[in-house]
């Protein structure tokens, strides 16, 4: 479904991504792992069109979308959950969800507020509260739910477990597994190896803007030096 090849992205003169390759198949969850500053978020933003790569290719369902503006990428069926959450703090949970609403797609699950409240019971209890009054974990849930209101086929999640309580992390894992059961593909940018192992089919490890490993978690376990060199703090 998603194929990234030879991606090079710069911020000014700083070379952030160097020849990055990765792929996500339909109904697959792939974890993009790495330390802070490794290039995970830049990879996600380069795919989404928020940062324009200098070279390389991003393809979605075989279509070259390299450098497309984010609104066009979104219309294709790619949803983006930013690390910063960016909810509308003065709007209620219900109103935040309505902001994300898009028409149904013939090739993707249709999400409604009622379905999302079943997926995120915490939001159901607070549906009339302002987004700014939610906890950090609940705001993360709201950001994911708002993205799902666009009925995407592929979801890009940037650091979904960062800075939230362990109980909410467990709920987040359950949600990602449910998205896979619904047929969605998911690319997760993460530092949390344990969380990624629970929800993901494969791992891609990036360090200093370069891919150092691609494979299953069994392959990663068979090469502990790789995790130690690229993920250990």
Q: Sketch the domain layout of the chain as residue ranges.
A: 2-230
**For domain 2-230, which CATH number applies: 3.40.50.2000, 3.40.50.2300, 3.40.50.300, 1.10.10.410?**
3.40.50.300
Question: ∠ CA 47-48-54 to the nearest 5 degrees?
Answer: 50
From 116-120, 166-170, 171-175, 208-212, the region with the lowest mean pLDDT? 166-170
Residue 233 confidence (pLDDT) = 61
Task: Give the span between the Cα atoms of 51 and 46, in whole angstroms.
Answer: 5
Cβ within 8 Å of residue 68, ≥6 positions away: 49
Reported pTM:
0.94
CA distance 151 to 105: 7
Please write the tens of the pLDDT for every residue from 123-138: 999 999 999 999 888 9
pLDDT greater than 80 at residue 210 = yes
Cβ–Cβ < 8 Å for 149, 108: no
CB hemisphere CA count around 130 (13 angstroms): 6
pLDDT tens digit string along 38-82? 999 999 999 999 999 999 999 999 999 999 999 999 999 999 999
Residue 194, CA atoms < 13 Å, CB-side half-sphere: 5
Q: Is it the case that residue 114 has pLDDT exceeding 90?
A: yes
* The dihedral formed by the CA atoms of 29, 60, 143 and 94, expressed in degrees to the nearest 10: -120
CB of 124 closer than 8 Å to CB of 97: no
Q: What band does 22 get if pLDDT is binned at 50, 70 and 90?
A: very high
């Amino acid at each position: 479904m998603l194929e990234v090849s030879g991606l090079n992205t710069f911020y000014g003169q700083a070379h952030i991504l160097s020849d990055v390759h990765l792929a996500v198949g339909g109904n697959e969850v792939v974890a993009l792992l790495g330390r802070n500053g490794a290039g995970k978020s830049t990879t996600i933003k380069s795919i989404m069109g928020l940062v324009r790569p200098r070279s390389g290719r991003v393809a979605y369902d075989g279509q070259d979308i390299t450098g497309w503006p984010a609104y066009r990428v979104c219309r294709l069926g790619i949803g983006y959950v930013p690390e910063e959450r960016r909810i509308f703090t003065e709007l209620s949970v219900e109103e935040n969800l309505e902001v994300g609403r898009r028409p149904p797609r013939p090739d993707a699950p249709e999400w409604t507020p009622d379905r999302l409240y079943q997926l995120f019971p915490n939001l159901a209890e607070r549906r009339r509260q302002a987004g700014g009054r939610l906890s950090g974990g609940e705001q993360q849930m709201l950001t994911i739910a708002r993205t799902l209101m666009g009925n995407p086929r592929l979801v890009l999640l940037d650091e979904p477990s960062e800075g939230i309580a362990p109980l909410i992390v467990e709920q987040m894992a359950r949600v990602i597994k449910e998205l896979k059961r619904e047929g969605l593909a998911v690319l997760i940018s993460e530092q949390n190896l344990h969380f990624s192992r629970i929800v993901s089919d494969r791992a891609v490890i990036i360090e200093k803007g370069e891919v150092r490993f691609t494979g299953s978690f069994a392959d990663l376990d068979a090469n502990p030096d790789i995790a130690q060199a690229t993920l250990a703090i």
